[in-house]
Amino acid sequence: MALRMSSLFVRTQKEDPVGAEVASHKLLHRAGYIRRSAPGIYTWLPLGLQVLGKIEAIVREEMARAGSQEVHFPGLLPADPYRKSGRWEAFGPDLFHLQDRKDNDYILAPTHEEVFTLLVKDLYSSYKDLPLSIYQVQTKYRDEARPRAGLLRGREFIMKDAYSFDIDDAGLDASYEAMRVAYLRAFARLGLPCLPVRATPGAMGGSGTEEFIYPSEVGEDTFVRSPGGYAANVEAVTSIVPDAIEYSLSPAARVEDTPDTPTIETLVDAANANHPREDRAWTAADTLKNVVCAITHPDGTREIIVIGLPGDREVDLDRAAGTGMLGNGEVGLEAATAEDLAAHPELVKGYIGPGLSPETQLLGLEGSSKVRFLLDPRVVDGTRWITGANEPGRHVFDLVAGRDFTSDGTIEAAQVVLGDPAPDGSGPLELARGVEIGQIFKLGRKYAESLDLKVLDQNGKATTVTMGSYGLGVTRVMACIAEEYHSETGLLWPQHLAPADVHIIAAGKGEEIAEAAETLTSELESEGVTVLLDDRGKVSPGFKFADAELIGIPTVIVVGRGLADGVVEVRNRLTDEKQDQPVAEVVASTVAAVRTAYATADGAADAAIADAAGGAAGGEVAAVADTSAL
Amino acid sequence: MALRMSSLFVRTQKEDPVGAEVASHKLLHRAGYIRRSAPGIYTWLPLGLQVLGKIEAIVREEMARAGSQEVHFPGLLPADPYRKSGRWEAFGPDLFHLQDRKDNDYILAPTHEEVFTLLVKDLYSSYKDLPLSIYQVQTKYRDEARPRAGLLRGREFIMKDAYSFDIDDAGLDASYEAMRVAYLRAFARLGLPCLPVRATPGAMGGSGTEEFIYPSEVGEDTFVRSPGGYAANVEAVTSIVPDAIEYSLSPAARVEDTPDTPTIETLVDAANANHPREDRAWTAADTLKNVVCAITHPDGTREIIVIGLPGDREVDLDRAAGTGMLGNGEVGLEAATAEDLAAHPELVKGYIGPGLSPETQLLGLEGSSKVRFLLDPRVVDGTRWITGANEPGRHVFDLVAGRDFTSDGTIEAAQVVLGDPAPDGSGPLELARGVEIGQIFKLGRKYAESLDLKVLDQNGKATTVTMGSYGLGVTRVMACIAEEYHSETGLLWPQHLAPADVHIIAAGKGEEIAEAAETLTSELESEGVTVLLDDRGKVSPGFKFADAELIGIPTVIVVGRGLADGVVEVRNRLTDEKQDQPVAEVVASTVAAVRTAYATADGAADAAIADAAGGAAGGEVAAVADTSAL
């Protein structure tokens, strides 16, 4: 049955929602697709549900194609499995939690690894049962501190989450690859440009992981890519480590007075003026900046660490925390507070350094200070540094790594910047912003171990299962499609994702016009083409056109004055073409055009996979060709 | 793609779930459709989702046919609208509630009247926008004290809830009737016998309401029906009030000693022995039993009331509370506690009565006792009673209603029993049990008033909208279908609701058998018939047959030894027929049978409406013909 503007539960809005900054948020609201219910929580109106249904159908088809079976878990889950996995604590305030009438703890599921694991444990017992891939399309809840941008970051949202279960690593690799292909296919069919980027597992645990990024300025995620096809989020970028330097000829380390040098810049100037280097001028890259940070461990204890990095680099604590190099992917990392510093008077603010070696080394040696000292990987043996002398107004010069000081380990805590080399040698990195629309994980055995999921292997021995986890943000994807496909005047959906295939406008008052629009509608619908008919009697053509532009169905048929000459106007807003067509021909041509659009979108998946296979030779993760031109 | 037992995520179970009492709970668990996650909270496995999807599709089709548009609200809702409507309190401990990270109160929606009201208020402003009917298929949450019977009473469940918005009562009547028809059609298509019964609004408020009851011994609801077609739940039954009796010739009331009469029976025996009535023997129906009860009002205050009713009747406090005759549909009503009684020493346990009139009347007269005294409607003026004298061991005889005592009102607090007359004169009532699978309400203006939903009427005057609310328990319906359609050995779905259209069993080890089963599967699927193929290589035919019986697809094709003779066995488990069919013919005959089954189910809706229209002449609510024979 056609949707009819005369009765459709929609009222387009002239005003953007309060505080809206991105196009998808503004337009989905103004065109009457969604309506805010609470911060980050939305109600779906009929037009919105139509598009959402089409997106979900494509995702389901690709899951089925990848051999994944649909199940459906509750949204309200007992807290206990999340306590066992450690995520009750790890999710922190992002977790909505509550108690039932018997005071049992429950959560609103933010993601479902634990209960999927338990279900498989419940039903399966043998290696013969594996591999298994199961998924759901489900409402998730995360109490985001800053829900933003409409559907881009909500507190109640729809996710497709899949989980794979394998007996061994080779099986996990195959399951992961099948799901990776399904994601590439799904995003291609959804018309969404998408870049799989290397990522780090973060709180999820596990080994390999990739994020699928929709490149867009409205995104919150920064990622890097090189001309040669390397792509990663900044947490996953690894620095190229230079070779160690022969240091036998380096000058001896010494402490110098450096008054009035509160910044790296003033320090470098003073160094060049008063303590010049023999071979070239000192630069900021020759200073070793030591930053005091604090880690909060899962058990609540707070640890002070010092991170040393070249002075020409800014610290990126999110990157440092995301690398997992702190030894525990779930710890909190932040700058040290005044209180933290007060507890460590040996760390003299502005003048922190390893200390003049070896007798006075303060950091990085057993028995010196109790704080861990972690270094940027570029601080290799033989590098010469100007750094703090642990006394106000004084710095050490020519402190040589490996000769004069060592560390407790390395950490990637320096901000990645434009022009940094890609770790695989594929050229200088550029930084871009994007929206994470999916992430796939080789979880490995973390959840299976904490929840004791074992099956008997071929020798009858109980073996821990290895798992993968694969998330795709369905409602977020819809927002991204709206970001990618809109015009100055409204949404502009890809033909196969529009809330109806055709928008018919009865433009004018004549009875003949209304009747012709009705006839056209029923003829198209009898061919399986869905129609949104603007049959409102007392609304002017101008208002109808404006609503049509806002709602964004790309194919618009205007039944108006031309009818007297036996023609209607067919507009393709994606190509910006308008043409008059004889009424007698318009059904056939529209049916053909709509069917072609669906077929083309389906075919895009094959092209995307072919592209990805080309780039992925040698096991490398490559960018998929931009599919926006589909 | 066919479902394959070799890879399907299902493991049939030999054991019933712990504590399971009803067939649907046992069989949906054992056949691998659902799996318990927490009390009253279930996970859906692939087979379960298939059936659920078919049920939801039928419900959606009937909603669309009734002109209702689909929307989707959040499950997590701000508490404020529920405070304004009074339901934050009214739902009591059944409401799951929580706070977000900013300490704002939220609820998990038990039903959505408030937010639907607010959304319409948000978007609509004129009578021209109405009527409107919108619905959703959504997860609901109720923290039931006693979740039971699997999907029959859960804490997380799926409901279809629709809401209508009209400018006037005539519009509401039409909207209500359209939804009533949609329900009758939907249940008929679902093959579920269903009886619309008169009900009382309870906590929902509003005027007219009917429940749709699936008659079944496993149900928690008691309802009544008469040979003439009257049907109601016990709360909605009204007693036939006898005419008042001329009492000028009745003997004067007097107090008599009645030692050793702890029960109605001993009292009647003593009365007949020592104080015989002049015209006939006393019976239990001549005694007036006065029961002390306590009401907890919404503001928390506790009120003691006394309910008087004939001694041959039991008290049914649920019925009394459900009638709304206490003046507030949302108050709690329970038997008085020892503490309550201690606060009222004038109420002498076992000997409570209005008192000997008029000087000593204890109850029911201003200034006597402070407790309200409510009477069964059958206690009309002129009736003569034996009742307590408010002294231990003594009763009043010949206390005449209207002459010697009055009351503060009437209440239907007596248990309805077999043989009670239907209020419409349609014959004696029989009692039956059933499951409430839907309820429709004329809400009226309760929610629109509390949330201020007004539109401008034809005269430009702000007018409060009148609403209807229409719930249908989707997951509960699935349980009822399983109750209605099963055998000794397993589920036995109506053909059009089965998780697949055909269950093909490769019974035997030959390569030819496996290949023939595969060929048959792909031929059927190419005709649009869905298949569950038991392709397990190492499972015996006996196990496969047992699993097929448990899973309950009615059409089973066994590819086995007959193949050598060019035949397969086709079983119709609904009719218990088995026959060998030539392989060359089985695809065509199966396709035809399956298509007929779908068409028959769709046609059942028209028959149900025709039946209902016949019985509903004169505005009466009639039972739909039992559709289980479809």
Which residues on A lie below 8 Å from B98 (Cβ)?
96-98, 108
Average pLDDT over residues B99-120: 94
Largest Cα separation within chain A, whole Å, is: 100
> Cα–Cα distance between A186 and A160 in angstroms, integer?
12
Residue of A69, A97, A163, A175 for testing the chain B interface, max B β-carbons within 10 Å: A69
CA-to-CA dists, residue B64 to A46, A218, B61, B70, angstroms: 12, 37, 5, 8
Please indicate, yes or no, whether residues B187 and B265 belong to a single structural domain of this protein. Answer: no
**Residue-range definition of the domain harbouring residue A520:** 495-596
Please indicate, yes or no, whether residues B59 and B181 belong to a single structural domain of this protein. Answer: yes
Average pLDDT over residues B131-149: 93
- Provide, rounded to the nearest whole percent, the portion of chain A with pLDDT above 70: 92
Mark which residues 62-91 of B lie under 8 Å from A by CB.
Answer: 64, 67, 69-78
Does the pLDDT at position A361 exceed 70? no
CB contact under 8 A, B115 and A45: no
CA distance A208 to chain B (A): 26
Does the pLDDT at position B404 exceed 60? yes
DSSP secondary structure string for all residues of A202-266: GGG--S-EEEEEEE-TT-SEEEEE-TTS-EEEGGG--PPPPPP---TTSPPPEEEE-TT--SHHH
Q: Which of B484, B503, B518 is the last residue of a domain?
A: B484
User: Percentages helix, strand, coil for chain A, rounded to the nearest 5?
Assistant: 30, 30, 40
CB contact under 8 A, A41 and B115: no
Q: Determine the 3-state secondary structure of B244 from DSSP.
A: coil
Which residues on A lie below 8 Å from B141 (Cβ)?
76
CA distance A422 to chain B (A): 40
H/E stretch holding B307 reads: strand B302-310
Predicted pLDDT of residue B327: 62
Of A42, A54, A44, A56, nearest to A498 by C-alpha is A54
Within 8 A by CB and 6+ apart from A321, the residues are: A331, A332, A333
Predicted pLDDT of residue A73: 97
Average pLDDT over residues B208-237: 90
Does the pLDDT at position A605 exceed 90? no
Please indicate, yes or no, whether residues B480 and B501 belong to a single structural domain of this protein. Answer: no
pLDDT per residue over B428-477, tens digit each? 999 999 999 999 999 999 899 989 999 999 999 999 999 999 999 999 99
Within 8 A by CB and 6+ apart from A599, the residues are: none
Which residue from B minimizes the CA distance to A49? Answer: B71
CATH of the domain at A272: 3.90.960.10
CB contact under 8 A, A155 and B97: no
Please indicate, yes or no, whether residues B528 and B440 belong to a single structural domain of this protein. Answer: no
ipTM of the complex: 0.88
Which residues on A lie below 8 Å from B11 (Cβ)?
123-124
**Are the beta carbons of A231 and A197 closer than 8 angstroms?**
yes
Question: Is this model's pTM higher than 0.95 or not?
Answer: no
Mark which residues 126-165 of A lie under 8 Å from B by CB.
Answer: 132, 134, 139, 141, 143, 145, 155-156
Please indicate, yes or no, whether residues B117 and B179 belong to a single structural domain of this protein. Answer: yes
CB contact under 8 A, B98 and A97: yes
pLDDT per residue over A511-537, tens digit each? 999 999 999 999 999 999 999 999 999
pLDDT per residue over A48-84, tens digit each? 999 999 999 999 999 999 999 999 999 999 999 998 8
Q: What is the DSSP letter of B430?
A: E
- Of the pLDDT bands very low, low, confident and very high (cuts 50, 70, 90), residue A621 is very low
Within 8 A by CB and 6+ apart from A517, the residues are: A504, A505, A506, A533, A535, A559
CATH of the domain at B115: 3.30.930.10
Average confidence score pLDDT of chain B: 89
Size of interface A-B (CB pairs under 8 A): 133
- Of the pLDDT bands very low, low, confident and very high (cuts 50, 70, 90), residue B628 is very low
- Provide, rounded to the nearest whole percent, the portion of chain A with pLDDT above 90: 66
Which residues of A277-378 form beta strands (DSSP E)? 288-296, 302-310, 332-335, 372-375
> Cα–Cα distance between B395 and B274 in angstroms, integer?
12
> Cα–Cα distance between B37 and B42 in angstroms, integer?
5
Nearest by CB to residue B156, choosing from A46, A76, A115, is A76
Please indicate, yes or no, whether residues B499 and B479 belong to a single structural domain of this protein. Answer: no
Predicted pLDDT of residue A200: 78
Please indicate, yes or no, whether residues B370 and B332 belong to a single structural domain of this protein. Answer: yes
Please indicate, yes or no, whether residues A301 and A193 belong to a single structural domain of this protein. Answer: no
Predicted pLDDT of residue A324: 64
Within 8 A by CB and 6+ apart from A299, the residues are: none
Which residues on A lie below 8 Å from B158 (Cβ)?
none
Give the residues across from B257 on adjacent strands.
B394
Which residues on B lie below 8 Å from A108 (Cβ)?
76, 98, 108
Helices (H), A5-102: 23-30, 46-65, 80-84, 87-90
CB contact under 8 A, A43 and B93: no
Average pLDDT over residues B577-588: 95
Which residue from B minimizes the CA distance to A42? Answer: B74
Residue A462 is assigned to a structural domain of this protein: yes
Which residue from B minimizes the CA distance to A157? Answer: B74
Average pLDDT over residues A444-454: 92
Domain count within chain B? 3
Please indicate, yes or no, whether residues A441 and A505 belong to a single structural domain of this protein. Answer: no
- Of the pLDDT bands very low, low, confident and very high (cuts 50, 70, 90), residue B370 is low
CB contact under 8 A, A76 and B115: no
- Of the pLDDT bands very low, low, confident and very high (cuts 50, 70, 90), residue A203 is low
Residue of A11, A14, A34, A41 for testing the chain B interface, max B β-carbons within 10 Å: A41
Cis peptide before A298 (omega within 30 of 0): no
Match 């020409």 to its residue by tokens: A312
Q: Which of B459, B484, B509 is the last residue of a domain?
A: B484
CB contact under 8 A, B123 and A49: no
Predicted pLDDT of residue A224: 93
Does the pLDDT at position B58 exceed 80? yes
Please indicate, yes or no, whether residues A183 and A36 belong to a single structural domain of this protein. Answer: yes
Fill in the amino acid letter for B236: A
CB contact under 8 A, B72 and A64: no
Of B224, B223, B199, B202, nearest to B211 by C-alpha is B199
CA distance A449 to chain B (A): 20
> Cα–Cα distance between B335 and B305 in angstroms, integer?
10
Average pLDDT over residues A351-362: 68
pLDDT per residue over A253-286, tens digit each? 888 999 888 899 999 999 999 999 888 999 999 9
CATH of the domain at B507: 3.40.50.800
> Cα–Cα distance between A213 and A435 in angstroms, integer?
5
Top-ranked range on mean pLDDT: pick from A45-59, A400-414, A415-429, B355-369: A45-59
Does the pLDDT at position A105 exceed 70? yes
Please indicate, yes or no, whether residues B170 and B312 belong to a single structural domain of this protein. Answer: no
Nearest by CB to residue B46, choosing from A45, A69, A145, is A69
Does the pLDDT at position A556 exceed 60? yes
Match 């479809």 to its residue by tokens: B630
User: CB atoms < 10 A from the CB of A266, how many?
Assistant: 12
CA-to-CA dists, residue B24 to B480, B486, B499, angstroms: 7, 8, 15
Please indicate, yes or no, whether residues A146 and A190 belong to a single structural domain of this protein. Answer: yes
Q: How many helices (H) and strands (E) does chain B have?
A: 14, 30
- Provide, rounded to the nearest whole percent, the portion of chain B with pLDDT above 90: 67
CB contact under 8 A, B74 and A8: no
